[in-house]
Amino acid sequence: MAIYTAATEVHETLAASTVDTVTLTAINGSVTVINRSGTSEIYFTVAVSSPVVPTIGGANIYVLPAATCSPQIPFAGSKQVAVSLISSGTPTYSIEAA
């Protein structure tokens, strides 16, 4: 498991079947999760307090398809967010405060 903390953005590569957790400490209302390489699906959770561990294909988990894409998840009133990600492949991703 890799753990990263930054004010507004992190850019990394997932290891297959290994959870990464990214905590952003200076978000401005929303967070954008980007599948930069688009080579594999990325499953992820977003939490205001403690990180929630995602599973590949699990229930109640967001998914980015194996395509370059970037949904924006709103978080009104929160200044810190933990995003946890997992994939069966090794895609590159970015997490950015928006």
Domain residue spans in the chain? 2-97
Taking the whole predicted model, whether its pTM rises above 0.85 is answered as yes
* CA pair distance 98, 56, nearest whole angstrom: 26
Q: What local confidence, expressed as pLDDT, does residue 46 receive?
A: 93
In the predicted model, what is the mean pLDDT of residues 6-27?
A: 96
Q: What local confidence, expressed as pLDDT, does residue 94 receive?
A: 97
Q: What local confidence, expressed as pLDDT, does residue 79 receive?
A: 84
In CATH terms, the fold of domain 2-97 is Jelly Rolls (2.60.120)
pLDDT in tens, 43-88: 999 998 789 999 999 999 999 999 988 888 887 777 889 999 999 9
